[in-house]
């Protein structure tokens, strides 16, 4: 095999791997009847992350954190009114870059917060 062919193969391999290394990290947030996991949620300030909310419950829930979503730069998905609405067994993703701070989160459905559906988002 010629040097040019080996060099071209090496360059192609580097280019093929490059985008995978640059993928946005992901964090799964599990939603269940009267709780969220992890608790608390830890994120890195100024670093893009894809949050995937997985509702393990047969009931609808939401993840409401208006101050957090307002302080974050959202690049994919949306959180209208600072809320991610989750139908039973639904999965919803949002990609954002969070700003440093401590943000409360909860489910705004009737009495869910009072029964323990609240969390804290710690962005350092």
What's the pLDDT tens digit per position in 41-84?
A: 999 999 999 999 999 999 999 999 999 999 999 999 999 999 99
What's the pLDDT tens digit per position in 17-26?
A: 445 446 889 9
Confidence band, pLDDT 50/70/90 cuts, at residue 7: very low
Q: Tell me the domain boundaries of the chain.
A: 24-123
Quote the pLDDT of residue 57: 95
Does the pLDDT at position 89 exceed 80? yes
24-123: in CATH 3.30.43.10: no
> How would DSSP label each residue in 22-79?
TPPPEEEEEEETTEEESSSEEE-TTS-EEEEEEE-SSS-EEEE-HHHHHHSEEEES--
Strand 49-55 relative to strand 91-97, pairing = antiparallel
């Amino acid at each position: 095999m010629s040097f040019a062919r080996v060099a071209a193969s090496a360059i192609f391999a580097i280019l093929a791997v490059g985008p995978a290394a640059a993928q946005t990290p992901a964090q799964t947030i599990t939603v269940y009847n009267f709780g969220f996991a992890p608790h608390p949620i830890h994120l890195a300030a100024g670093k893009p992350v894809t949050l995937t909310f997985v509702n393990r419950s047969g009931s609808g829930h939401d993840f409401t954190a208006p101050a957090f979503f307002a302080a974050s730069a959202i690049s994919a998905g949306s959180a209208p009114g600072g809320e991610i609405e989750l139908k039973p067994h639904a999965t919803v993703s949002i990609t954002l870059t969070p700003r440093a701070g401590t943000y409360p989160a909860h489910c705004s459905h009737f009495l869910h917060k009072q029964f323990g559906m609240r969390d804290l988002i710690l962005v350092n």
